[in-house]
Amino acid sequence: MYIGFGYDTHRLKKGRELILGGVKIAASEGLDGHSDADVLVHALMDALLGAAGLSDIGYFFPDTDPKYKDVSSISLLESVYKELKKQNFSVNNVDVTVIAEAPRICPFIDDIKENISKAIELKKERIGIKATTNEKMGFAGRGEGIAAAVVASIRQGKKR
Ligand SMILES: Nc1ccn([C@@H]2O[C@H](COP(=O)(O)O)[C@@H](O)[C@H]2O)c(=O)n1
Ligand SMILES: C[C@@]1(CO)OP(=O)(O)OP(=O)(O)OC[C@H]1O
């Protein structure tokens, strides 16, 4: 069994859509980035790549490549999962924490789980999604951005 950790942050900006875990969330600002800036999925990809000893998302999807402009991060997650499968890895479980002062993430957790479940062939029961505010402290607390931290466990061999 292998464990990986991923962490990412993106700045909030007016005129951008807010996409978290592949779910479009109505909000006055969205996350800024070269891609769709889905901070949750970025942290998840890094956790999976880290567990597999496979570098990071910047290595696989450089932000200088026009191919990734506004790309759906869920589609990148599918590619990451393909890389893992090539090396005979399967995912045991993933545990996600989103740090956001707003909006509330709770109502979207089931849809987020659904998207992740499809992308990495993992039962929804093995996907943890949580959210916390930063109690108004720091960049997340001031509403300047959103952060996500993910722990993932993978194994080499057949899926259970
Ligand atoms: N963006 C967020 C932040 C929090 N929640 C939910 O509220 C609970 C309390 O948050 P605290 O930061 O005050 O501990 C948290 O456990 C989540 O259930 C949320 O949905 N979205
Ligand atoms: C997936 C990528 C692709 O440009 O997304 P970005 O929106 O640039 O986000 P960041 O987390 O700064 O870097 C990861 C990139 O590889």
DSSP 134: -
Query: What is the per-residue pLDDT for 158?
Result: 65
Nearest ligand 1 atom to the CA of 107 is: 20
Of all protein residues, the one whose alpha carbon is nearest to atom 16 of ligand 1 is: 132
CA distance 100 to 46: 19
Q: Give the span between the Cα atoms of 13 and 9, in whole angstroms.
A: 13
The position carrying tokens 């999962």 is: 81
Ranges of each domain in the chain:
2-156
CB-ligand 2 contact for 81 (6 Å cutoff): no
Mutational pocket test of ligand 2: of 8, 34, 69, the residue with most ligand atoms within 8 Å of the beta carbon? 34
- The pLDDT of residue 138: 98
* CB crowding 11-26: b at 16 or more within 10 Å, else e: ebeeebebbbbbbebe
Choosing from 133, 137, 142 the residue with most ligand 1 atoms within 8 A of its CB, the one to mutate for a pocket test is: 133
**CATH 3.90.950.10 given to domain 2-156:** no
This prediction's pTM: 0.96
pLDDT at 24: 98
Chunked into runs of 10 residues, the chain (160 residues) has average pLDDT values of 98 98 98 98 98 97 97 98 97 98 98 98 98 98 98 84
- Cα angle value 34/35/41 (rounded, 5°): 135
Looking at ligand 2, which atom is closest to the CA of residue 8?
A: 11
pLDDT confidence of residue 103:
97
Tell me the CA–centroid distance for residue 128 and ligand 1, in Å: 14
At residue 157, the pLDDT reads 82
Closest listed residue to residue 91, CA positions, set 160, 41, 149, 22 = 160
